[in-house]
Chains A and B, each alone.
Chain A
Amino acid sequence: MGSFPATRHSVVAAIASADQATRRVAFDALVSAYWRPVYKYVRIKWRADREDAADLTQEFFARAFEKGSLGRFDPARARFRTFLRVCLDGFVANERKAASRIKRGGAVSFVALDFVAAESELSESAGHFTAGVTAASPAEDDDALFRQEWVRALFADAVTALRESCEATGKQTQFAVFERYDLDDDAGARPTYSQLAGELGIPATQVTNYLAFTRRELRRILLERLRALCASDDEFRLEARELLGMEAP
């Protein structure tokens, strides 16, 4: 999580920066946010095996950094997420056509990409997204699949950042309330405020306060990250509206 810049500036804009250091920091943030959706997308859409998908993911980002291809994004034509997905499709298609391939992922290295963990996530959630998605899926399905994985990664990163922040500031109980009430995957087992208060040995009113705090923090982290990953205010508003529940008109 440390690679994510504590700023509201767009990393999408920064990847086109003339300054090498700025570009590198922005690229790291971008890789951090997108490598998991890219890996899972290559595994599902392109039916790549684990090793091939990991190689393609690393090579895609390495090539994009070297050639500056993502810096050519035009916000007037599409969202950055769609642009990146289309670039990825083009890249994988070309790689598949190539008769002989050089060893991938050589020259440039980014933030550590834990493909083993990503593979484990893929197995855990296999039932969620493989239905109806085939190699011959239309572009909308591809976009939906990529978006779904991008949202999953965005939320997972935001929850991790929230936990780290709570631990660093001695707010473990606040996170525990959030974890039990909002994060527990068994919705049927969601406790009432008073049950939760009894469980954690705090007054029931504190449950309201702690939930308000953690939700506010989660929202702040999500919106901050989202802002950084969008090229313009318009794109940010559109993504934020979709992310928080409302479909764009």
Chain B
Amino acid sequence: MSSLSDSAIRRLRDAADAPDLTGTKYEILGRIGQGGMGTVYRARDRELGREVALKVIRLPEASPDLATRMLREARTLAQLEHPGIVPVHDVGTSPDGRAFYAMKLVRGLPLDALPASSVAERLRIVERICEAVAFAHAHGVIHRDLKPQNVMVGPFGEVLVMDWGVAKLTSDAAATLGAPSVSSAARSGPDSPTTGHGVVLGTPGYMAPEQAAGDPTLVDARVDVYAVGAILRDLCGGGATPAGTSGGPSDVDIARPLRAIIAKAMTADPANRYQDVRSLAKDVAAFRAGDPVSAYRENVLERVQRVLSRYRTPLLLVLAYLVMRTALLLFFGR
């Protein structure tokens, strides 16, 4: 046969990896991308006549362990019904034995591909991430791989936290989902439903030091606080931080209170970090509203500047009133 072009090879590669969905209600429309353990396709649900995202285990790795992990991810997501978390519609196994789940097809852009926007808009996105993550934490689920690529922003400003494939479950959440908790892990490995010592899951630059250390017993909800801090740093234009270190932003253009928020979220010692994402969100919202933040002790001058800035409109109105009043008094008092 004649030589295959590079594009033909890419298509053949996609074809060879495409799941066999005969007998299911799904029809593959195209490939969206790849996650930690599977390939995500745009597919059509023929019964409901809607498009969905189908996450399917890659073939060379279609092991029972991975299928368990995929099912666990789907169950985790199904428990987390929140506008900021992508909803799961269905789970199944293709005729060629590959586990898959169908979820809402999110149209939008990952956070790292968003066009430039105002600081206030970016802070609002961080607050929404915090809301979704706080909801997950309240249900015993720690994401462990929050990063800009795992946050999608829709055309109407909706913010969705994606890719919960390496999420850690607390024992209560694990019991609900029928999966073993981390503390009761019998075996370890990146494909295992739980994670043991020495296995590092996460992304450098967004991973808290205790997570980078590879000891799952040290990992709690505060690793997500660190990661959200790193996302906030990125959105504010701060430089990247080496994995496993405290990550204060280096950019001097970032307002001091905001810098302090990022620094507190990314402190190496989790005891000195925000203890939950709600506290972090509260500080971010306070900064956005022009209120004092818990992470930063301002001096008198800064407080005056902030109050002047925060209440600029009413103060200007009062000032204008006083000027007019004085002028009138002077005019009629003569």
Contacts and interface: CB of A to CB of B under 8 A. Distances in A.
Given A241-B61, A244-B60, 5 more contacts: A182-B15, A183-B8, A212-B20, A237-B60, A241-B60
Interface of B: 1-9, 11-18, 20-22, 27, 34, 39, 58-61, 95-96
A183 B4 CA distance: 9
A211 B14 CA distance: 12
A209 interface: yes
A244 B58 contact: yes
Contacts, number: 89
B302 to A, nearest CB: 46
A89 B58 CA distance: 35
Name the 7 nearest CB pairs between A and B, nearest first. A121-B3, A240-B60, A182-B15, A244-B17, A212-B20, A219-B16, A212-B22
Contacts of A102: none
Contacts of A2: none
B12 A159 contact: yes
Nearest to B9: A155
A156 B1 contact: yes
Interface in A206-222: 208-209, 211-212, 215-216, 218-219, 222
A38 to B, nearest CB: 15
Contact of B15 (A187, A215, A237): A215
A140 interface: no
Given A125-B5, A128-B5, A245-B39, A218 B21 contact: no
9 contacts: A125-B3, A151-B9, A152-B9, A183-B12, A187-B7, A209-B22, A240-B59, A244-B58, A245-B58
Contacts of A212: 20-22, 95
Nearest to B7: A187
Interface in A154-178: 155-156, 159-160, 163, 178
